[in-house]
Chain A
Amino acid sequence: MTAVAATPQQPIWRRLIGFNLLTGIVLGIGGWYVGWFGAHAVVGPSIDYFGDIDYNELSVYLAYLGGVVGFLVGLGFFNYPFARLRGYPPSLREKETAGWTRYFGLCTDHKVVGIQYLWGIGLFFFIGGLNAMLIRTEQLSPHGQVFPMGTYLTIVGMHGTMMMGMMTSGILGPFANYLVPIMIGARRMAFPRIEALTFWILMAAGAILTTTIFFGGFPTGWTGYAPLSNEANAGMDNYVLFFALVGISMTLLGLNMIATILTMRAPGLTWTRLPIFVWGVLSTAVLMVLAAPVLVATLSMEALDRTAQTSFFVTAAGGSNYLYQNLFWVFGHPEVYILALPGFGIVLELLPVFSRKPLWGYRLAVAGLLGVSLLSWFVWQHHLFVSGINGDLRPFYMLSTELISIPTGFTFLCGMMTLWRGQIRFTVPMLFCLAWFFNFLLGGLSGVFLSDVPSDVTTHGSFFSMAHFHYTIMGGLVFTFFAAIYYWVPKMTGWELHQGLGKIHFWTMFIFFNSTFAPLFAAGFLGQPRRTPVYSGSLKFLNDWVSVSAFLLGISMLIFLFNLIWSLGFVKKPAVANPWASRSIEFQLPSPVPVHNFDRIPVFSSDPYGYGEGPAPNWVVPAGAPAGRE
């Protein structure tokens, strides 16, 4: 029996004119103008639109910020704070319980936010992927002339920035939001409105980045190095705002995860019984909360340099480009572990289910996740080995970077020993998890080369380092992202995904992913620098091979998209509650999971990996258990 009455569903016309995405967009555009004209009230009359964006960066920033605020007002984020100011009691009154329109507005149901994230991030993932296809088109010829040079550099920057900004929340956004409350036996996240806020801020940010090309683009790539960023056109401001908003979204998302996991675990769920996926989320969330604010601070300095003529990063006026580089990578290195750690959590979570064995070395796996999280703070200068940092630092950072492969190895060991003597079923999610081992091995070992300074002298800034991070991020994160989709989407939507198409998607993606990125190790070793469409003629065959593979990789993504639309939109075959015979608690609930998750809060007695240890589940709902907090 639930403690909260379901909100009655309003008629559709009422839902359309209420606070939702449409209102958000309208008020966002209005807010943009308010910001723009407001800026001019401060800095004086405008010359004309383009004159403004050349000389009056402040109006650009205030316009976009006004737009974002207007967007959030239109979505209804300010309604509850104002209601509380007027004395209304606390409530989750926005929580609509039914109707497709609740996906297009502010909804405090964590499951709705998870699904919103899945589609939202998926959209921007495809936009980033489109940019990747354009990059490979340009790289077909050693004198690439498909796109004018400045535009090409923007395309490269957009691809990297979009992917890094969006996929940082790629697993935590959709899957942690949906599953963590269920896995810990709670009905909601600690801060449901903030959860929804992180999603909509991310969407606003994505819209800002997509329009950068129309304002001149940005020439710096995703790293945004000053002082080049100081002299860039107005498109640079789109980048700065995108990443700053992403940083805010990340910080709030991490905060929410930590608060939820720390305080809302059901009775009996001690730290050693927590699903390893939740541990992965926790170790990632800690990094998010600590690293993302550094990014926001760095970009604020950049914005000040561009608008207020400060000189944080301008050497001639007393600043230093090293300041930007160090601050950026203090964020940037934990950032890549934010991308990688959820993947570790997913692989270790799925392997027991599909090997029918407990997770081997649970404590070692947790130590590995936390160890990676901790050590990731001590390695950032390996991005700066040849930048002219103090020579004494280089051996230290070489050591610390090599050391981080030890906790990473724990994940490999625990995964491999879980498979050992198991009853392995090669389902689609399992295939993606197995591919993770292959990809992350190559990615991790190439990282060992890059961490070695003499080797790094040649490979830094070359395609070798690009192949390294694509193997770890795309081979690590994106493959586990798809594993999570095939594994959990039937639970989230209540409909099956076609397994045959899933296998075709997997094999085409795996083969063409490796075919695309493995030769790039060679290209880097042979001297091809990054972000360069002009290269030595002897590398033409290699680049053409890579480009064709990349196009085929793109087609494999289309196969996935077709599967998604076909299975969820047309076939709509109802999924059983537990298609994978998993012992995890979310699969003991109906598909899709009901609004309030549990009728009664369960009590846990062990971890969810008791395969081969007897039929008893790891949780019970004793009679008379409390209904739990709403």
Chain B
Amino acid sequence: MRLGIKLLLVAAVVAAAGVMIGFYVSDLTTLAGSPAYSVPVQNASSGHPVVNLEFQTVAAIGPKFSQNPDWVSYLIKTTSGWKRETVWNLPANATVHVTWLNFDGASGLRNPFLARPQGMVGNSIKVDGKTADHIDPNDASHTFAVPALGIIAAAPGVADDAKNQCGFAPCSLSNAHRTVTFTFHTPAKGGHFRWQCFVPCAAGWIDGFGGPMQTIGYMDGFLNVRA
């Protein structure tokens, strides 16, 4: 084979390999991840911002949001509607008012300890408007927990025989739901804190912790607290 042709062949193979590796690596940086959403600050006052964090949990995410339509998932309310993004940017030293709409039924907690809210203001949550310092662990549907900040909040589930239960996300207030509200503070120093659900709610996986329970963008995410 002539030298020129050989060089061209080697160059072509190296280029093809480079392109494939490039695609592979860039794929890896986004697979099973989630884009970040910056939760808007309500007041412009420096030093102690206030944000409203509103999210919902649904029994089946649906084909509009995912290739796995029957996975349970969180959705965040953004300025442009509900999105399946679980990486949230929050300001440091902020007061975060959380409103959580749960459209899913109960699975039950494996460890009843996690049914006791802690880490938020007053170590209690409001369930459908009523203050509660615990929920029935058997009735737990999902949790929102940030272990590094000591925050554990569990939401009770929609009753099995409730009317007008939500099918695929996004769910609206006219569907059967439970509302949980609480307030917590982000640390002054900032940091990168993971949050997760602790209820074994991934139906079809052994221990209930497979699939959506182990995938960022569904039942797991990050709080990026930026100083």
Contact = CB atoms under 8 A, between A and B. Distances in A.
Touching in the complex, A and B, CB below 8 A? yes
A51 interface: yes
A54 B68 contact: yes
Given A54-B70, A219-B214, A569-B10, A147 B29 contact: yes
Interface residues of B, number: 30
Nearest to B217: A148
A501 to B, nearest CB: 16
A146 B31 CA distance: 11
> What DSSP secondary structure best describes chain A's contact surface?
helix
Given A150-B215, A233-B211, A55 B28 contact: no
Interface string B130-148: 0000000000000000000
A307 interface: no
A134 B31 CA distance: 14
B207 interface: yes
Contact of B210 (A134, A146, A231, A314): A231
A260 B194 CA distance: 57
Contacts of A146: 29
A90 to B, nearest CB: 39
Interface string B17-35: 0000100010111111110
A569 B6 contact: yes
A148 B10 contact: no
A216 interface: yes
A309 to B, nearest CB: 9
Interface string A151-181: 1000100000000000000000000000000
B136 to A, nearest CB: 22
A227 interface: yes
B216 A231 contact: no
Contacts, number: 69
Contacts of B211: 54, 233
Contacts of A569: 6, 10
Interface residues of A, number: 28
B88 interface: no
A374 interface: no
Nearest to B205: A231
Given A145-B192, A227-B206, A314-B206, A150 B214 contact: yes
A227 B216 contact: no
B205 A151 contact: no
A555 interface: no
Contact of A148 (B31, B192, B205, B207): B31
Interface string B195-227: 000000000111101110011100000000000
A50 interface: yes
B28 A143 contact: no
A55 B69 CA distance: 13
A55 B32 CA distance: 19
23 contacts: A50-B67, A50-B68, A54-B68, A54-B70, A134-B28, A145-B192, A147-B29, A148-B29, A148-B30, A149-B216, A150-B214, A150-B215, A150-B216, A151-B31, A227-B206, A230-B207, A231-B205, A231-B206, A231-B207, A231-B209, A233-B215, A565-B10, A570-B3
Interface of B: 3, 6-7, 10, 21, 25, 27-34, 67-70, 192, 194, 204-207, 209-211, 214-216
CB-based closest 8 A-B pairs: A148-B33, A231-B210, A150-B32, A231-B205, A230-B206, A231-B206, A50-B67, A143-B192
